[in-house]
Amino acid sequence: MKSVRLKRQHKESCFVLGIPEIDNVWAGIRRTHMVGIIGPPKGGKTTLSAYMVHRLLKAGRRVAVWAMEGSAEESWINKLIAAICFEQGYNITSKDLADGLAGKTEEERRAVINARLAIAQNENLSFIEETGYVEDFLDVIDGHYKTFNRFDCLVVDSLLNLQTKTGRKKTEYLSSAYILLKNYIEHELTPRAACIATAQFKQEAIKEARNKTDISFDETSGGETAETIRTPDNVLGIFSTPEERDNHVTTIYHIASRHSEQFKPVQVRALFGYAQFSSLNEIAEQ
C-alpha cells in the first residue's frame, strides 16, 4: 500500500493549463514527466512557459528556471511582472518593462514595483543564470536543488543552448543531455519533480508550415536532435501566422505523448505581452 501511495505522489499533477479544450484531454504537468515546448524563434515558447510558471506559482508550487536563452530579467521576470499586473487590471506589457516603461500613471508604476517585489521575495521561485555545459549541467541543477530551491518543477529555456567543453558534436551531446535530464527528474529527486524544456522547430518545419493553410506538426518537427521529440513525455508546439498574432490568437499542438491521448490542435487567445493564454470559447461566452 505504501508503494502505491508513493507512486501516486510521484505522478501527481502539478498544474493544468486552464484551457478546457486541452485540460479535458491532457492531464497537464505531472511529477516525473518532462514536457517539451517547441516553436519558431520569437514564436511564444518562452512566453507559454512563463504562463505555466505563473500558474505553478499561484498553485503554491516551487519552480526553478534556468534561463539559457537570454537573461532572466528580460526573458522571464518582465513576463511574470506583466502577468501579475494584467490580472490586477493593469495593461503593462513585458516589452514596456524591457524598454524601461514601468507604467503611465503612478498607480501603474506602483503596481509594477509591488509585482517586482513579490517576485523577488517569492521563495518558491529561483533562477539559474550561468552558461550550461553538458559535462556538468546536472551538477549545477542538483546543487541549486539542494542549496537554494527544492523545486517541484524545473524549467530549462532552452536546453539546445547547452555547450560542451570537449568538442563533441552538437547533435550527439544534446541527445545525451535530454536523456540525462529526463532520468534526473524521474529518478534522482525526492519528491520527484516535473520538467519543462523549450526548443526550436526545425527550419524546414517552419518553412513548410508557413506555406500551408492546414498546418500540422509531427515527430519530425523538432530541431537539432530527435530527442527533443523522443525523450519528453509530452511535446507541445506553439505556432501562429502573422495574421493570427495580430489578432491575439495562436495554436497549441500536441505533437507527441507517451502516456495519454493527444489533443487536437487548439486555437487559443494569446496575449503575448502579458504571458496570458485562454480559451477562445471563454471569450465568445463573455
> DSSP letters of 148-171?
T---SEEEEETGGG-B-SS---HH
Q: Provide the pLDDT for residue 10.
A: 55
Label residue 265 exposed, middle or buried (CB < 10 Å: 0-12, 13-18, 19+): middle
Widest distance between CA atoms in the chain: 58
**Cell of residue 157, nine digits:** 529555456
**Cell of residue 36, nine digits:** 517539451
Those residues with Cβ within 8 angstroms of residue 33's Cβ, 6 or more apart along the chain or in another chain: 11, 194, 195, 232, 233, 234, 259
Cα torsion at 216, 218, 220, 222 (round to 10°)? 90
Q: How many other CB atoms are found less than 10 A from the CB of residue 53?
A: 25
Domain boundaries, the chain: 2-285
Q: Buried b vs exposed e over 22-41: b needs ≥16 C-beta within 10 Å?
A: beeebebbbbbbbbbbbbbe
Q: Quick one: which of 70, 235, 79 has its CA closest to 158?
A: 70
Q: Residue 262 and residue 242: Cα distance in Å, rounded?
A: 26
pLDDT digit string (tens) for the chain, length 286 residues: 444 444 444 568 888 999 999 999 998 899 999 999 999 988 999 999 999 999 999 999 999 999 998 778 778 999 999 999 999 999 999 999 999 988 889 999 999 999 999 999 999 999 998 899 999 999 999 999 999 999 999 999 999 999 999 988 988 999 999 999 999 999 999 999 999 999 998 788 777 777 776 777 877 887 888 899 999 999 999 999 889 999 999 999 999 998 878 999 999 999 999 999 999 987 544 4
User: For domain 2-285, is the CATH number 3.40.50.300?
Assistant: yes
Does this model's pTM top 0.85? My answer is yes
Q: Residue 220 and residue 209: Cα distance in Å, rounded?
A: 13
Q: Provide the pLDDT for residue 197.
A: 97
Preceding omega of 191 cis (within 30 degrees of 0): yes
Q: Provide the pLDDT for residue 3.
A: 43
Residue pair 36/237 in contact by the 8 Å Cβ criterion: no
Which residue bears the cell 519533480? Answer: 193
Q: Residue 242 and residue 215: Cα distance in Å, rounded?
A: 14
Q: How many other CB atoms are found less than 10 A from the CB of residue 129?
A: 12
Q: Provide the pLDDT for residue 210.
A: 78
